[in-house]
Amino acid sequence: MSTVTLMLLRAVMVMRDGPADAGRPVTNEDPDAVSMTVAYRHDVHKLRGRTHAGAASEFRGIPVNQDVPLYADADAALLSRPRGEPEQTVPAHDSPRRLPLLDGEVTALEAVVGDIGDAIFDLVRIDDPAALHRAWLDASVPALFSESRYYPFTSAKYHTLLVAALLDNYRAVSPFGDVYLSVSTHAGEADPRIVPHRTVLTTASFALHVTADPVGPAARIGSRPTQCFGDVWARLPAVPFDVDARRCWRVLDGQLRRLRSWSTALQYIEAFCNTVGHDDAAATSTRWWA
C-alpha cells in the first residue's frame, strides 16, 4: 500500500468513526503532519480580548490564531459550551475575563502578572510541543480568561488543553468514541504522571487525562462531544481523593457531579485544590465547606 493511500485511509478513518459521523466532510489531512503547537496557540486572541474575526495571524512574530485541524477545536468547544447562537448568560459580566465559580471574584490581572503581553509571549513562544504542553498545565494567565464572554465560567486554559488532548488522540486515529477520562495519582511526590498532550489537569496529588489509552480508573467520555463532565465523573470507578476522610473532598466530589461544562469543571478542581490544599485540609474546618 502506498504512503499516500495509507494517509488517506487514516484520515478517512478519523472522520468516519469519530464525531465526523454527523455529516462532516472527509478530510485528506495527514494526522502525522499535524503540529501540536497549533493547539496551544489557536486562541491567543481570547487572552488579548480580541474576537476570532479580529484575530491577528502573528503575535510578536509567533504564528497564532490558526485553525486547528481534525475538528479538535470544535469538539472541545462542544464539551464546554452549547451548540448554536450564544446569548449573554450573566448580564452584569460582559467581559472576556473568567468569572470564578469558587468565589465569584474576578482576580485583577495586576495581581497575577505585570504585563499581560509579556506573559502570553513567554507561554506561546515555546517551540517544543511537549514543553509547550507542560507550560500550559502550569500556566495561570490563561485561567484568567473564559472561552467566551457569553459563558464566563468556562476557562480558556482548560479549553486549550482539551483541544490538545483531542487533537493528539485524533492524530493517533483514535475517534472521539474511544476516548476516556482517566485518573492517575502520585502520592508523596510533587508531580503526578504527565502524559504529553493528554494530561489535562495536574494537582499536588493527582492528574486527569483525556486519552484513548487509559491507565488506572477511567470512564469513556461518550459517543459524541457534549457537555457531560458530571456524568463521566460519576462513572469513574474511583475518584483520586478520599471522600470519606474529609468533608471538603465530599463537597468537591458532589459539585463535580453537577457540572456539565468540561473546562468549567477542570478549572474548578484547580481552584478548589489550590485553595484547600491536600495536606492541610483538616485545618480548614472554619471554611464554608467544613
Q: What pTM does this model have?
A: 0.85
Instruction: Output DSSP code: residue 62.
Output: E
**DSSP E strand stretches across the chain:** 58-59, 62-63, 180-185, 199-202, 206-211, 218-220
Question: Please, which residues bridge with residue 211 across strands?
Answer: 180
CA distance 82 to 191: 34
pLDDT value of position 281: 41
Which of 9-18, 24-33, 77-86, 138-147 is the least confident region? 9-18
CA distance 200 to 287: 28
Task: Dump pLDDT digits (tens) for 83-104.
Answer: 877 777 777 787 888 988 887 7
pLDDT value of position 36: 96
